[in-house]
Amino acid sequence: MSLSRREVVTTLMGGLAAAQAQSPAVKFVRFRKGGQTAHGILDGDAIREIRGGLFDSRQESGAKHALKDVKLLYPVEPTKILALAGNYRSHLGQQPAHPYPEIFYKPVSALQNPEDPILIPKDATDVHYEGELVLVIGKRARNLSVAEAREAIFGVTCGNDVSERQWQNGKNKDVQWWRAKGADTFDPVGPVIARGLDYGRLAIQTRLNGKVVQKDSTSSLVHDGPATVSFVSRYLTLMPGDLIFTGTSGTTTRMVPGDVVEVEIEGIGVLRNKVAAA
């Protein structure tokens, strides 16, 4: 399924238009135009460029770009990526919930842009999607209370925690999830960071080739965003731009080259990626 630039913009704007009708959230993007990369504020079908850093004393530069004329990138460049396992009741099934957030690492080298391909490694046999809400940390965070942790969350975005199940859970599984969860392109993120949402009650769904394959609400999270950030900050110093994937819902299935996977979250928009062979 090949998508034209017009189709990409139309789908993105459709999801964002519905979000804007429900929320006053500000939507930040990172984009490339020509040889330049910058952050900006999404305003309808245009981007207002900003300078001074996304988390610092940002100011609008006065430059304005048409959305159709830029390439959207994953919206931040984190120092680290963390993710939660078993954080939706619908994903746990009959297993008891973890008493505290169950954290694992994903490498920053696994990041992928919206619309760019998820590449299936040659020897991978069972690669699944996992649509997730992703927290974006906005300031240095260490030993935070839950209330302080809430203030440390800059905004939220969409993520796909791509996972090779045989490497993760199969008969000859790896001891660690380094490649099952961290192979190149296994971390698509974007298309925007939404700031100002009540991210504790957002509808979230994943579609595979247009069919809804996951559907839930972030209100079903076992450990919510502030509780997770507070817990993590007891042991790790979180830095501006760091990402925390909050877990996936329900059950998942295999993706194959040629598929298109979309993660849509209310108030944020649609993260879409094709699947291809490496």
* Structure confidence by residue, pLDDT tens digits, 156-200: 999 999 999 999 999 999 999 999 999 999 999 999 999 999 999
Of 36-40, 52-56, 107-111, the one with minimum mean pLDDT is 52-56
Percentage of the chain lying above the pLDDT 70 cut = 92
CA distance 206 to 259: 13
- Is residue 20 over pLDDT 90? no
Find the domain containing 161 and state its range.
Answer: 76-277
In sequence order, which residues have a C-beta less than 8 Å from that of residue 219 and are 6 or more positions away? 200, 201
CA distance 108 to 190: 14
- Give the total number of structural domains in the chain: 1
Cα–chain center distance at 71? 17
> How sure is the predictor about 2, in pLDDT bands with cuts at 50, 70 and 90?
very low
Extract the tokens encoding 55. Answer: 């988390």
CA distance 19 to 12: 11
CA distance 154 to 239: 11
Rounded to an integer, the average pLDDT of 92-119 is 93
Rounded to an integer, the average pLDDT of 4-23 is 49
3-state helix, strand, coil in the chain (%, to 5): 20, 40, 40
* pLDDT higher at 124 or 11: 124
CA distance 225 to 244: 9
- Contact criterion met (CB below 8 Å) for 111 and 74: yes
Q: What tens digit of pLDDT does each residue of 206-235 get?
A: 999 999 999 999 999 999 999 999 999 999
CATH number of the domain enclosing 82: 3.90.850.10
Within-domain flag for 19: no
CA distance 228 to 225: 5
CA distance 95 to 91: 9
Place of tokens 């040659």: 122
Query: Pairing state of beta strands 187-195 and 111-112?
Result: parallel
> How sure is the predictor about 5, in pLDDT bands with cuts at 50, 70 and 90?
low
Within-domain flag for 202: yes
Within-domain flag for 18: no
Within-domain flag for 14: no
CA distance 267 to 248: 18
Q: Residue 149, SS3?
A: helix
Q: What tens digit of pLDDT does each residue of 45-92 get?
A: 999 999 998 998 899 999 999 999 999 999 999 999 999 999 998 877
Within-domain flag for 9: no
- Quote the Cα angle for 8-11-15, to 5°: 140
Within-domain flag for 193: yes
Extract the tokens encoding 77. Answer: 């460049």
200 half-sphere exposure, CB direction, 13 A CA radius: 9
Within-domain flag for 45: no
Predicted local confidence at residue 97, as pLDDT: 83
Mean pLDDT over the full length of the chain: 92
Burial class (CB in 10 A: 0-12, 13-18, 19+), 160: buried
Q: Name the residue among 248, 106, 118 with its Cα closest to residue 179.
A: 106
CA distance 215 to 91: 11
